[in-house]
Every structure is written in C-alpha cells, then in structure tokens.
Amino acid sequence: MRRLSPPNLQLRSEASHAGVSRRHLQVGAIVVFVAVLAWAGAATWMLFFRDAVVAGLIVRQQRITLAYEDQLAALRRQLDLVASRQYLEQERVEARVAQVLERQEELERRQSLVDALQRQASGIEAVGRPAGGIAAPVAAGTTRPSPPANRPSRGEAARDRLGALRYLPAPERLARTDQALERLTHRQTSALSGMLASSQRRLDRYVDIVASVGLPTGPLTRLPGKAAGGVGGPYVPVQADAPMHFGSLADTLKGSLTLAARAAGVVAALPLGRPAETEETSPFGVRLDPFLRAPALHTGLDFRASYGAPVRATGPGTVVFAGYSGGYGNMVEIEHVSGVMTRYAHLSGFAVTEGDTIAAGDVVGRAGSTGRSTGPHIHYETRIGGDPVDPQRFIAAGARLYGRR
C-alpha cells in the first residue's frame, strides 16, 4: 500500500476546500439569481396587473360602502316608521282627548240642567205644603240623610281617582275616563227618570184631588201654549231597559214639572181643611127644616161648636164679604181658586174684614147662633161657580192628600 507524503496530503486538503468554496459560490449565485428573478417577476406582475388590483380594491371598498349605506337607509326607514307611528298615535290620543273634553263639557251642561230641574222639583214640593196649621203637610218624599262625617267629599274622591290614573298609560287613562263619563251619563239619565216618575205621581195625585172636588182637570194636563187636540195610536209598551235620549227625557220632565207646579198651586189654594176639629151635626143635602119641619136643601155642613169658639178658614183666599146676610146671620165669604168659595155662617163675631188675604187655618170669626139658627154651631158651605156642593168632597180630598183622618 502506497502512502502519501505530507506535502501531497496538504495539496489534497487544499483542493478539497477549494471545491467546497466553489459549490457554495454556485449555490449563492443560484439563490441570488432566483431572488432577482422573483423580484423581477413580481415587479413585472405589479407593473402589468397594478390597475386590476387597484380596481378590485376600489370595487371592494365600494361594496362595503354600499352595504353600510343600505344598512343606514334601513335604519332610517325604521326610525321614520316608528316616528310616523308615534305621530299617528299622538294624533289619535289628541283626538280622543278632544272627544273626552267635549263629552265632559256636554255632561257638565247636562248636570247644570239636572240641578236646575231638581231645584224646580223641590220648589213644587214646597208649593204643595199648606201654610196653615189646620192641614198636615204633604208627604212629598223622604228626607235625604246627611253623609257621614268621615266620608270623603265628591271632590276629594275625584282627586284620588285622578291621582291613581296619573301613573297609567294614556290609552288606559282615556279608557277609564270614558268609563267614568259613561257612569255619570247613566246617573244623570237615572236621576231624570226618577224625577220624571216622581213628578208624574205627584201630578196624578194633584189631578185626582182636583177632579174629586168637581173641578175641571183639562187645564192641568195641557201645557201652556199647546191647543188641545186628538191623540191616539196603538199601544206599544216600552221595554224596561229601553234607553231614552237625554234631551227628550229632559223636555218631558220640564213639561211634567210645569204641569205639576200648576196643579200643586191649584191644590194648595183649595179649601181642603175643616173649619173646626169637631163632629158634624147635620150633613149636606135634603133634610127636615128645623123650623118648618118640611123637606129642604141644606147647602152646607153643620159643626158642633160652643159659643165663641174659633172658626178657621179651610184654605187660603181673599175675604169678599164679612157682614150680616139674612138667614146666614153674621157670615164670612172667602174666594179661593177656580171659582171656589167658602162661607162661614151664624158667627157671633168677625176676625177679618173684606179684602183681607188669609191663609189656611187663620181665624175668621167666632161661633154663634145669629140668623136662622137653633143654637151655637158653625154652618160651613163650599160653592163652585156660585152653586153649593157637598163640603165633604173637599174635606175627604184633604184627608186623602194630607193623610188626615
């Protein structure tokens, strides 16, 4: 085996190192070449395709911008829709509020009318009460009890209700306000219906009293300015729950109250009392004359009375005669209403003079036995149009009206 000398080994080592260096240089040159080639390609690509890239970026940006604008437009339309709905809702609420206010004003006008009719009805009740103590008052109704001291007033209750409604939504507040106004409307209509029924009962009662004493009742059942005429038609009963228009109900009540007031005035002016609270000793009608003992017409009632006992007027009126009158002796004649007159005869003395205005129960004279008389007593007559009628008509009517026995 051949062995290399040291110089030869050194040469081979140097040659080996030189080969490695060349390979490194070749690899580096290749890498640099590839890099330069890639750069050149990229530069060339950018040079040729830059406009397309820029155009793509612009298109993408435009798409993004349009998408945002579409979203903004959708949100704007939604806001406009919400605003329009709120505006329409506000208009509806304002219209409802205007309707409620208009209805409230109408109900206030109606309440004023109801209050005025109630005052008118109360005035009619006052007319029906005779002033004298000889006749009892008319039982026109019951007295309303006063509210308890701890019960809140209507104003306080209304303020409490308004305070409770303040925290509710507007539609619910309006709905509850409508319900409250509807209840008030029902109460007003019910009040008018009750007053109409009461007025009709009172009118029927007064007309019955006037008819029972023999006076015509036509003027008491016909409103002023309305001529009498024929009426008729089939009878169609009204249902109990049938509503009646407030205006027609109020007009009907006004007419009924007018007629009731007129009838009450007539009844209050009639002589419905008794000249004395004693028994009757001789009735009206045919009897044996106390002097001639032959049948004769007794034109009045005789009441037992001691000499000098007070004789009282049986109703309000005006004294048209106070003096001596033949068989009547000392007599007082009083003119009342509708041609009704009363006479008080055989008096021992007078307490009134001609022209005096008197009230029921006033003393007109003293019992005696003047004129054609057999002893102290009271001769009492009632006349209509100058003709004598049975005083028991008036006395019985007064007893029925005033609850007197």
280-336 confidence digits (pLDDT tens):
999 998 888 777 778 888 899 999 999 999 999 999 999 999 999 999 999 999 999
Distance CA 332, CA 350 (A): 8
Task: Please tell me which residue, 30 or 242, carries the higher pLDDT value.
Answer: 30
Give the type of residue at 370: T
List the one residue out of 251, 255, 256, 259 whose CA is nearest residue 218. Answer: 259
Distance CA 314, CA 344 (A): 10
Mean pLDDT, residues 119-124 taken together: 82
Mean pLDDT, residues 385-390 taken together: 94
Q: What is the pLDDT of residue 222?
A: 82
pLDDT band at 85 (very low <50, low <70, confident <90, very high): confident
Mean pLDDT, residues 12-21 taken together: 65
Q: Does domain 280-402 fall into CATH 3.40.1190.20?
A: no
Distance CA 297, CA 299 (A): 6
37-41, 45-49, 72-76, 226-230 — most confident range: 72-76
Answer whether 302's CB lies under 8 Å from 281's CB: yes
pLDDT band at 141 (very low <50, low <70, confident <90, very high): very low
Residues paired with residue 347 on neighbouring β-strands, in sequence order: 330, 367
Answer whether 166's CB lies under 8 Å from 176's CB: no
Q: Is the pLDDT of residue 363 over 70?
A: yes
List, as one string, the DSSP characters of 30-77. HHHHHHHHHHHHHHHHHHHHHHHHHHHHHHHHHHHHHHHHHHHHHHHH
Distance of CA 358 to CAs 58, 125, 316, 361, 363, Å? 117, 21, 6, 9, 9
Q: What is the pLDDT of residue 213?
A: 93
Q: Which residues of 184-217 are buried (b: 16+ CB within 10 A; e: fewer)?
A: beeebbebbeebbebbeebbebbbebbeebbbeb
Domain boundaries, the chain: 9-131+165-222+245-269, 280-402
Distance CA 42, CA 224 (A): 118
Distance CA 126, CA 361 (A): 18
> What would the two tokens of residue 393 be?
């008509």
Secondary structure class of 361 (helix, strand, coil): coil
Q: What is the pLDDT of residue 148?
A: 47
Residues paired with residue 324 on neighbouring β-strands, in sequence order: 330
Mean pLDDT, residues 33-53 taken together: 72
Q: What is the pLDDT of residue 137?
A: 36
Q: What is the pLDDT of residue 139?
A: 36
Gap between the terminal Cα atoms of the chain? 180
Task: List Cβ<8 Å contacts ≥24 apart for 190-194.
Answer: 191/114, 191/118, 192/114, 192/117, 192/246, 192/249, 192/250, 192/253, 193/244, 193/249
Q: Is the pLDDT of residue 132 over 50?
A: no
**Degrees (nearest 5) of the Cα angle 204, 209, 212?**
120
User: Dihedral (C-alpha) 276, 278, 283, 289: value to the nearest 10 degrees?
Assistant: -90
pLDDT band at 171 (very low <50, low <70, confident <90, very high): low
385 phi, psi to nearest 5 deg: 65, 25
pLDDT band at 15 (very low <50, low <70, confident <90, very high): low
Least confident of 62-71, 141-150, 207-216, 383-392: 141-150
Q: Is the pLDDT of residue 245 over 50?
A: yes
